[in-house]
Amino acid sequence: MIDDRTLAEAFHKAKAADRMRVPPLPAILARAECAREMQNRRRFTAAMWCASALAGAGTLCAIVLAPGGFPLAMSPSIAVVLAPGLVAALWGLAPARTALQ
């Protein structure tokens, strides 16, 4: 009968018999620092995309809600101006979402 104590001893012996190279801590710290910088950069990019998307949406809302703005927004000339901006803003949400994950 193998009891818990025997089992625990066997596991401890197996653990003690393991041979591995412990990487130097400075190398791990450097990798962590690099990863943190990358994360900060991704967050900054995400913030920029979000700001772009909000600005685009805000501009469109302001034009539509302004007195006489709706017909203006529907006019072909303003649509030509706004459409690329709106597409860029909406398109910006995808990388922002990805970067925030």
Partner 1 sequence: MSGPDFGAWYEATYPRLWSWVRRVLGDPNAASDVAQEAFVRLLQSGRQSLPEAERAPYLFTIARNLMRDHWKRRARIDESGGEDVRSVAATGSGDIVAAIDLERALDGLSAQERSIVWLAYAEGWDHRTIGRVVGVGEKSVKVLLFRARKHLVRLLGGTS
- Please give the residue ranges that form the binding site for partner 1 (CB under 8 A): 1-2, 4, 7-8, 10-15, 17-23, 25, 28-29, 31-32, 35-36, 39
Provide CB contacts within 8 A for 14, sequence distance 6+.
Answer: none
Of the candidates 26, 24, 23, 45, the residue with the CA atom closest to the CA atom of residue 34: 26
Quote the least distance from Cβ 46 to partner 1, whole Å: 17
Quote the least distance from Cβ 84 to partner 1, whole Å: 38
Helix boundaries (H) for 1-101? 4-17, 25-65, 69-74, 76-100
Region at 44 (left for phi over 0; alpha for psi -120 to 50; beta for the rest): alpha
